[in-house]
Chain A
Amino acid sequence: MSEAIWGGIQGLISGFANLHWSNPIMIGIGCLLLYLGIKKDFEPLLLVPIGFGAILVNIPLAGLMEEEGFLRIIYDAGIMTELFPLLIFVGIGAMTDFGPLLENPKIFLLGAAGQFGIFLTLALALALGFPQRDAVAIGIIGACDGPTAIYVTSKYAPHLLGAVSVAAYSYMSLVPVIQPPIMRLLTNEEERKINMGVVRKSVSKTTKLLFPLVVTVIGGLIAPRGLPLLGTIMLGNLMKECGVVGRLTKAAENEIPNIVTLLLGISIGATMDGRIFLKPQTLIVLGLGFLAICLDTACGVLFGKVMKVLTGGKINPLIGAAGISAYPMSARVVQREGQKYNPKNYLLMHAMGANTGGQVGSVMAAAVMLSVLKGMGVI
């Protein structure tokens, strides 16, 4: 009798008895992510499920990430198959207006420059001793594009998924803090005052319809390994622009990304088991991710300066900072910085063009990276 009672009590305290030192720390980190999402409004749609997932997976003996655990089932079904990031991309394509980019297609180049940090950070990660596939996953944080980072990392370095995803989404939400000092450092007052005029509405419906087809076919031929990324974002955009599949567009803008974001977030959080996550390597990954976004911003602004010279002073280099994929935050940052130095300056739509160019650029950079890796035999 007393043995049965003792056994029953042991059953109730076994969770505490099996607590690893890293679990309470990770529960604290989960709470911090919840705080940032709920109180500070930093990417709440992602940080709330990620934070809660991190708490769930750090409670011992629940077995949520074991073979039959519900988080493992979601993770295997959506992350390991790469399905979740791709479904999110359909939504991004359906929600993005590429009109400002198509008004001035030269701005595509800023979207390319805004991705250079990916490749520079990859080289730095290699120099720090990371294996090649891990370095690819770390560099991709610089895409400043959560689904792209998740897609590439889940494919080639799934053990880094938690760190890379948290870095990508946290830094995206910190763009208003990270970018302005770099923009000010690399431009002078005269450049920041350049007025780019008003964006005219001058893109025909036919051009808007042809855009997703051109990007899919040409981009797919150049970098076929990235076609899932390119194809899904462009499918979403085609549905939006064609105007004849309203119900599908509505689902792509709302229901699909809402459900997938929840499942994606909670399964990323589930990769943050303290025993795997709490390593010095994680801190280095977070540091390199930060550097990647700083380098992207710097390369974008510097390329903006080159374009300013080439166009005879018509381009305000500040819009180069919006060449990263953090849409629409970085465009708003550019608008705010521009107006600080010239209250009559209205850079928002130009920056939105660069920002959507950055979205295409980040996907294309990942696609190019995957195809180059395949060509070199690394993957």
Chain B
Amino acid sequence: MAPDNMIEASGLTKRYGDTQALAGVDFVVPAGTILGVLGPNGAGKTTAVRILTTLASPDSGRGTVAGFDVVTQAADVRRCMGVAAQDATLDGALTGRQNLVLIGELSRMGRSAAKKRADDLLERFNLTDAADRIMKGYSGGMRRRLDLAASTMTRPSVLFLDEPTTGLDPVSRQRMWEVIRELVSDGVTLLLTTQYLDEADTLADNIVVIDHGRVIAEGTPRQLKEASKSARLEVTLSFPADGAVAALQPLVAGRVLVSADGQHLSAAIDSGSGLATAVVRALDAAGIVVDNIEIRQPSLDDVFFSLTGNAPDDADDERPLTVDDLPNELEGVSA
């Protein structure tokens, strides 16, 4: 009964005054997968989510959720999705538990079923201790977990999370990621927007990159990285050697760059296949001693930069952590 694609957007456009927020966006999210919608602030991510969650109507194009049209069958869409978005918040003057029960009641679960489900979720999201405190006093991480719990009250088959970790400290982000992974292992279809490359890389099965209201790239995290063709060779020498550049240059695609201390060399490469062996042989033949050879696959950061021409974070000063702060994290996760 469930359609193959639980979320579909085709040709979505939306204009707010002079701003073309969406200029024709297409993507699909197959059942049981996570789509990461990646883009800088103002790229149109939130607008796309608002249309798909029935909060805004598109000027043209069509969206479906669980097979239902988001404009003509909005009531059906609302029955099968859960939404946690920064601009659609819970009630700060209610306690965590009251918020969950209210969302459950308004989702027509019935009061007793809502209470029971709220208890389960408060425990599952590690909020039992704070359950009867007013939400205004929650930390950012607790608030987001409560938001996520609220969006799963009815066990929806489709979830929309709009920037679920923006503004969180690193520890809270890691916890959010764990919770999100757990949800998806239960078979939920998830659309997640984010400005964080590492987040999309870690969580998403597929990524679409949106900029200026258009999809400018899509694919798996791996495909996107390969498409950017910016793999680099990095060589560390035991001590500076004059012949090193000459020995490496025939093996690489770009110009060989040398660090100030003369020990670190790097260059763009076309293919990593067999390259390490060739590099060692060439340097050994020139009598140069090598400490380390690394072939660095492009990070999504590089991809993003090459696609949008701007760093993803330069619009948002509130970011607690940038990919640049953790230069090695991507390699570890995406291997």
Q: Do A and B come from one complex?
A: no
A contact residues vs B (CB 8 Å cutoff): none
